[in-house]
Structure formats: structure tokens, C-alpha cells
Amino acid sequence: NQDTQVAQNMHGLSFINLFVFDLLLIFRVLEASIAENKASLKRTHTEVWSDSPNPHDRKRIDSCPVGLKNVGNTCWFSAVIQSLFNLLEFQRLVLNYSPPARVHDLPRNQKHRNLPFMQELRNLFSLMVGSKRKYVDPSRAVEILKDAFKSSESQQQDVSEFTHKLLDWLEDAFQMKAEEDREGEKPKNPMVELFYGRFLAVGVLEGKKFENTEMFGQYPLQVNGFKDLHECLEAAMIEGEIESLHSAENSARSGQEHWFTELPPVLTFELSRFEFNQALGRPEKIHNKLEFPSMLYMDRYMDRNREITRIKREEIRRLKEHLTLLQQRLERYLSYGSGPKRFPLADVLQYAMEFASSKPVCTSPVEDIDSSQDSLPPLESSGPASGPTTAPTAAQQQRVPIHKPFTQSRLPPDLPMHPAPRHITEEELRVLEGCLHRWRSEVENDTRDLQGSITRIHRTIELMYSDKSMMQVPYRLHAVLVHEGQANAGHYWAYIYDPHQRCWMKYNDISVTKSSWEELVRDSFGGYRNASAYCLMYINDKKPFLIEEEFDKETGQILSGMDKLPADLKLYVKEDNELFDKEIEEWDILQARKAQQEKLALATAAAAAASAASSTSTSSSSPQPMSIESSPPDNAGQGHGIYNSEEKSFNQDLFLFCLSGQAIKLEYARLLRFAQEDTSPENDYRLQHIIVYFIQNQAPRKILERTLLTQFADRNLAFDERCKSIMNVARAKLDLIKPEEVNMDEYEMWHQDYRNFRETTVFMTTGLELFQKANYVEALMYLIYSYQYNKELLSKGLYRGHDEELLGHYRRECLLKLNEQAAAMFESGEEPDVSTGLGIMNELVVPCIPLLLAHDIEGDLLAVEDMRNRWCSYLGQEMESNLQEKLTDFLPKLLDCSTEIKSFHDPPKLPAYSTLELCERFSRIMSALGRVHADGR
């Protein structure tokens, strides 16, 4: 009996192993399907978000700023509104606005447009202050605004037009209230006081002087042709020829200057980054780099500093003229020569010195070649020799090859490596060396003096306005509105400074995150990718009320949250919060009810299974073998997949085994063993299962537990009754996990990292396969992206990605192979091949060189040096003039390429791999690499 019991137990364990194995196959197929569906979403921007069905995912965390939902191409609305909302003075004005009493007397457009919009804006601001939601819906305010535009067919509106319209409506709404409150007095409009300033236009029109005062809101600035904000402002403040403004003569020239007489507390610059291309007949975006400071001093543009600024401008003009002359002189030293080739003069003198001091030779290079070939068989001739005087000439003529670039024979080893003078006396050499040495020293001194003078002038210009008298009107950068894309489409977001946390915040629709000045610069200056600032909002640093919190007049405490709101808005927010609380409560009740129903179903199934096993054991006198294919008898009922006809107790134990989740624990133990094993490079268990990846990277226990349970609980497993029981157990366990026990943001972050790991693996595998097939052009982009993505993963942990050295090696090798191919095409001298070779270098190799130089990795640095040396070696060879011109044009790009990493095109399209196929491909390519590299790389 004891032996029989042991056999039964062993048989039960084998059933469990087969059972779990079946489940694993299902899980892996399911996991691959989910990963492939989500892979297409990675690194793509979705402009419209759908709400998560779980309200806990939409719950505001502490006092984190509230985002705005994108309700369809409305990121432009979010960026502008968030910038204004974070101006606390503007926020107070909107929240405390009350409509005029005599609404029925107002014009129709104000009554049915401006006032409803103001009310919706108040409601929106109140929710942004006191909502319990992570983000709120601005649909009502957006719809009113859209109606005012000429085209509202779900197209992204021009942000400048929208901002002007918004300020106009706000100005009208406050003007109505101001006129009602100040009857008989000149009303003050707070919107005008906040956003509008004045400037004086001083100029000459056809010889007649004029002065006009004008009001401005957003001040437009041209970007094209300027390097920073001050250059843009200088150009905007001076138009046309202004010499006549400063002279007593009545000239016919026309021009004008702008001088600010009054600056608004909130100074907004509208950067014109779009221009109409007449040739193409469409607008285009200007991606030029434009720098702007975090602190801007406006003194030089004020009317009261007119005379001082004119003097300084004249001084800067004079310095720039002098600077131009010095730079021209320096250029003559650095690019010396009268032909197409130019070299630094100091180097030319050094080369002359080296030539003069080389060992003299007695024969010409041609004679040396003739003498070195005396032992060679005579060359074939078309006719008899014509005598001793003509034979050498004929032989010499036949030995002179028809010129083809890069095809000449190597020079014999006894020929001097460098050209040298044929005859030079010691006296001549001494005099010449003395002169060349003296001249080179003079040239070097002159070059240093010119460079020093240029540096001093640059510094003088930079410090021209740095004295305290010209730093009395400080404006601090409050918000930067960014556009990414082209002229006819794109995405908008805002960087806004939080003075209380002393950090920059990024407001990207529903996402509000901490940022940095470095990230702002990268996205806003332009010239890096398709993103750049289109609007800058500065605030007067001497008017702190603009961003100061409001204090309670009685207690002196800072007003925060709901305390900021007037009574009607408090009620509005309270009702909305109650609706949200009710939604959360209903969700929790629904989930609890589902859990209870599933537990009841499990209990009912357990009772039915026990009853079926009892009736089976009484009707059978001898035990029958168990197999996973066996089915319950007719009287066992339907839907009970766990069946054993041997013993009632064993059948119950097996069901309880599933019910208690032992199968899940067994699967976790198996995956834990895989995670701890030392495996060969071609067998990466992380690709086979996400849990192995999580274990190796020390993911939190709750993340592991929820991930494993989620996979067991997938409804796609319900087609098999054996799986369905474990699926129900997993679902019951998931319901027991409280929302606060698992940080869903962290949970999603870990799963996103794993999706990134899989995608990086696909890039890597595809790139290495193409490399092995010698398809280096296509392989390069896959290897470039896999290396960059892998580096991002490894920055989070050692086991987040693949071997960085391996990827770096093949990225480097691919570039070297392409460089070799391109050089061979150039050497052929054939026009199509030359163009193709230079195209490969310009479009693929040269843009990748900064990536190799970004980190001081010895192999990468040597590879760059080898590539550059290969092309520089052509400088000393004779070639046709057209090739020489192309080489001269190309070499500066290769040698002087910027160390700034440029953005590439969109990543190449990824093949669709299932998990099984990806593992097989990865194993195959890693095995092949192992055979190639003896060092095991």
C-alpha cells in the first residue's frame, strides 16, 4: 500500500508538470501577442487620450498640478491655458470674475460668447485648483473658442491667432465689468494692465520726422537670421535707414526706431518660426537655433535710455566693423593661397622648412624608377627599336601610365619617402632656414595677436550692457511654449517655472512632470530636432504679486486648494469631487462583487468536483490510470476539468492544489531558477518570460506578483477547463490586491522597460543579421538605434539590456565597412560610384561620427581616426579636378563635424516577431557570432 501511494503521488506530480507546461505555452503566445500589439505604441505620440476605466488611475496625487485632457487636437489650448493659469495674479482675476449685472443690455456676441466663455474658464480654473482628478476635461471652453475660428474641423488652430483671440475676449469681458463698477470714471481693465504695454515709434518718412505712441500685446519677433533673443529684439526695434534720425540734415531716407515707454508686467514674445515658401506654395517651419536667457534685462530698449543705447549701439557697430576687418586678416593667415586649396600660412612655412632641410637627392624620381626597373623584362613594343638614342624615350613613354586615380603602382622602396631639394648648399640652407624660422614666428605671433584682439572685442560687446544702470528692468522667464513638428501639423506643450519648488515643470496635456533647464534648452532653442519655442512669456521680476500666493486677511495663512475659490466655484468643485468619489466607490464595490462571485463559483465548483469524485469512486471497483486527456464520466457534470478516478481524497487534493495557487507558485519557482542560472549568451531567459527580466532587475515583489497573476488570469486561458480553474484562482488573488498596494505608475514603468528591452532586442537581432549578410547600409540604422536604446536601458541597471561592448563593436564595424565601401567607390573614379560613395559618407557615416565621439571609448575613437585617415591619405595623390573638388568639399564635413549629436530619421520599421521566433533568431545570431569571435564576444 505504501508503494502504491508513492506511485500515485509521483503520477500526480507528472500530471502537474504537464499541466504547467501546457499553461506556459499559452502564456508565452499570449505575452508575445500583447507585446507586439503594444510595440507599435512605443515612442509614438498620441494626441487624444481615452480615460482609464479604473478611476484610481485618474486620481490626483497629493497637490500635484492638474493636467488638461486633449479632446482632439487641443494641445495648443492646454499649453496656453496652463501658462496663464500658473500666473497666480491672472488666476485670481479669472476665479474672482463676476459678470455685469445688466447682461441683457450687452451686444449679442458678448452676451452669447464672451461671458459664457468666461464662466467656463472660471469652472476650468476652479477644477485645476481643487479637483481630486489627475486631469480635467476642457471641452466646454474649447468648443466656445473653436466656434470663433474660421475653420474648426478638428484641425490644430494657429496658436498665435488663438492667443490673440483669447486675450481679446478676456479684455472685452473685464472691460464690461470695469465700466459697470466705475461709472463716470475712466475704467481700468486688468487684462490691459497685465498684458499690454506701449512703445514710441520715432522715425523719418520721406525726409519728415514723426513720433507715434502705440500699444502692443504679444510682441512679434523674427527668428530667421538671428542667433539669440537680443539680436531679434535689436532688429525689431530698428527698421530701415535710421542715419537721418541722428543728423540735422533733412534727408530723403526713411526708417524708424521703437522705444518702449511702458512694459507690461507679463511680457510675451511671439517667435515667428513659420514662413511661406513661394516656390513650393506652402508654409514651412524654421528650425534655426535661437537662444534666450532665463533673465532678460530690457533697459537698452527703454525710451528713457534712448541716448545711452544709441551711443552703445554706435560703439557696437564700430567694434563689429573692426571685428570684421580683424577676422578677414586672420582668415588670410589661416587660409593662405591663391588657388582652390588653402592652408594655414604657418604650416606652409613649416612645410617649406621641412622640404629645405630634407636630405638632397642626386637624381629625379623618374630616373630612380627607371633604374629600379632595369632588371625587369623589356616591355613589348609595336615596332623595332629605333637606336640607342630613341629606345629609352620609347620605353619611358610606354612606362608612363594613362592616368586613372588611385591605380598607380607603389613606388620602389629605395625612393625617398618625401620630396627633397636636388641641390642645396650649407650656406643656402642656413640662410633659408633662418628666414623661414623667423617668418613662421612672425606669422604665429600675428595670428595670436589677431585672435586675442577678436576675443577681446567679443567680450567687450557681450559686456556692453552689463553695467548696473542698464540692468534695472529685469524680466524672468515664466513659460516657454514649444511646438514640435512642421508648419501644418505638430504637437504643443509648455515648460513653466515653479518658483515655490524652484524647478521647471513640463505640462504636456494630461502629463505634468518635473523637468530641468537642460531639457527646456534642448527642446526650445531649436536646431536639435523638429521641436522649438514659438512663444516666450517673461514676467517683471520686481513685481512678485504676479506669482505670489494669496494670504487670508484674518489669519495671515496662505490660501491653498479650495480656500482660494469663491463660494459658487467651491460648490462646483465639491460637486465634481463628489461625483468622482462616487465613481471610485462604485468601482470598488463592482470589483468586490466580482471577487465574491468568482469565489462563490470556485466553492461551487469544488463541491461539484468532490461530489463527482465520490460517485466515481463508489461505481468503480478497480483504479484506472489518469491522463490529461481523460474526461469525467457522464454523471460528473460539465465544467469540472480536474478529474481522477482513483481516489476521492486525491481528486480533492488535486483541486485544492489548483485552488490554493500552488501551480502559480511552482511556475514562479521555475522562473526564479532560470533567473539565477548562468546561461550561454545565445540562451537569454529574459526574452522568454517577463518575470525573469523582473527578477534579475530586482523589481518590487508586488510588481512580480501582479504580473504573474495577470498572466494566469487572462480570459484567453478559459478555453481549457484545467486552465480555467487556475485562471479563477489568479483573478481572485488579483482582487485581493488593494489599489494602494501597487503603484500603477511604477507597474507600467516596469512593463514599458520590458517592452523597450524586447524592441531593443529586435533592433539588435535585425541589425546583426543584416551585418552578417554584408548589407551594411540597412544594418547601420538598426545597430545605431539598438545601441542608443540599449544604453538608455543599461543606465537603469546592469541587467536591463544587452552587452554594450558587443553592440558597440558591431556598430563600429558596420561604420568601418561602410567607410571602406564608400572609399572604394570614390577610388574607382566613375561618376555614379563616386556620387554613391560620397552619399553614403554624408548621409550615414558622417552623422554617426558624433555618436562615436560622445564617450571616450578607445575602440570608437580609433575607428574615427582610421576613417578620417583613409580619406586624408588621398590628399597627396593626383586625381582628376572634379574628384579633387568633391574631396575638398567633403573633407571638412568629415574632419570638422560637430560633436553635437544630431537627430536621425524615424527608426526603421521593425519586423513582427513572436516571442518564440525572436528567441530562435536571437539564439541563432548569437551562436553565429560566438563561432566568429574566439574571445566569446
pLDDT tens digits along 9-47 = 443 434 344 444 444 444 443 444 444 444 433 333 333
pLDDT at 365: 63
Strands 197-205 and 255-262: antiparallel
Do strands 295-297 and 282-285 pair parallel, antiparallel, or not at all (unpaired)? Answer: unpaired
User: How far apart, in whole angstroms, are the C-alpha atoms of residue 424 and residue 433?
Assistant: 12
> Cα separations (Å) of 199 from 202, 213, 217, 883, 913?
10, 6, 11, 57, 64
Quick count: other Cβ atoms within 10 Å of Cβ 874? 18
Nearest alpha carbon to residue 294 among 477, 545, 512: 477
C-alpha cell at 70: 486633449
Secondary structure element (H or E) that encloses residue 587, with its range: helix 567-619
Q: Which residue has the cell 617649406?
A: 352
* DSSP track, 323-369: HHHHHHHHHHHHSB-SSS--B-HHHHHHHHHHHHTSPP-SS-HHHHH
Q: What share of the chain is helix, strand, coil (3-state, %, to 5)?
A: 55, 10, 30
* Residues whose CB falls within 8 Å of the CB of residue 549, separated by 6 or more in sequence, listed in order: 88, 500, 558, 559, 560
CA quadruple 459, 462, 465, 466: dihedral positive or negative? negative
How many Å apart are CA 857 and CA 875, to the nearest integer? Answer: 28
pLDDT value for 373: 52
What's the rounded Cα separation, in Å, for the pair 507 and 480? 10
pLDDT for the residue 678 = 78
Single out the residue of 675, 695, 694, 676 nearest to residue 685, CA to CA.
675
Nearest Cα to Cα of residue 895 among 850, 828, 833: 850
- Domain limits of the chain? 303-360+417-472
Is 418 among the residues known to form the active site? no
Q: What is the DSSP letter of 509?
A: T
The DSSP result for 192-260, as a single string, is: HHHH-EEEEEEEEETTEEEEEEEEESEEEEE-TT-SBHHHHHHHHHEEE--GGGGSSS--S--EEEEEE
Does residue 751 have an active-site annotation? no
Which of 478, 483, 482, 511 lies closest to 497 in space, CA to CA?
478
Task: Classify burial at 623, counting beta carbons within 10 Å of its beta carbon; exposed 0-12, middle 13-18, buried 19 or more.
Answer: middle
Rounded Cα distance between 525 and 536, Å, is: 11
Residue 158 confidence (pLDDT): 59
Strand partners, 492: 483
Look at residues 117, 234, 227 and name the one whose alpha carbon lies nearest to residue 168: 117
| Burial bucket for residue 718 (CB in 10 Å: 0-12, 13-18, 19+) | exposed
The whole-angstrom separation of Cα 318 and Cα 320 is: 5
Three-state secondary structure of 13-27: HHHHHHHHHHHHHHH
Q: For residue 266, give the H/E element and its range.
A: strand 266-272
Q: Cβ(533)–Cβ(294) under 8 Å?
A: no
Alpha carbon distance 170, 186 (integer Å) = 18
Bridge partners (DSSP) listed for residue 262: 198
| Residues contacting 139, CB < 8 A, separation 6+ | 71
Q: Which residue in 232, 258, 478, 483 is the catalytic one?
A: 483
Q: Are 640 and 608 spatial neighbours (Cβ–Cβ below 8 Å)? A: yes
The stretches in the chain having pLDDT less than 70 are 1-50, 72-74, 103-112, 148-160, 181-186, 240-253, 277, 279-282, 362-417, 487-489, 601-663, 715-723, 875-876, 896-906, 931-937
| Grid cell digits, residue 479 | 513659460
Burial of 349 (0-12, 13-18, 19+ CB in 10 A): buried
Mark whether 905 is an active-site residue: no
State the sign of the Cα–Cα–Cα–Cα dihedral 321, 322, 327, 330: positive
CA 604 – CA 612 distance, rounded (Å): 12
For residues 464, 468, 471, 473, the Cα torsion angle rounded to the nearest 10 degrees is: -150
Alpha-carbon torsion, ordered 446, 450, 455, 458, to 10 deg: 170
Query: Which residue is it, cell 522649438?
Result: 532
Q: What is the pTM of this model?
A: 0.57
Rounded Cα–Cα distance for residues 97 and 162 (Å): 21
Instruction: Provide the Cα torsion 324, 328, 334, 337; round to 10°.
Output: 160
Q: What is the distance between the alpha carbons of residues 706 and 592, in angstroms, rounded to a whole number?
A: 17
How much is the pLDDT for 298? Answer: 96
DSSP symbol at 719: G
Q: What is the pLDDT of residues 125-144, one digit of tens each?
A: 999 999 999 999 998 888 88
DSSP state of 842: I
Bridge-based pairing of strands 135-136 and 67-68 is parallel
Which stretches does DSSP call E strand in 408-488? 474-486
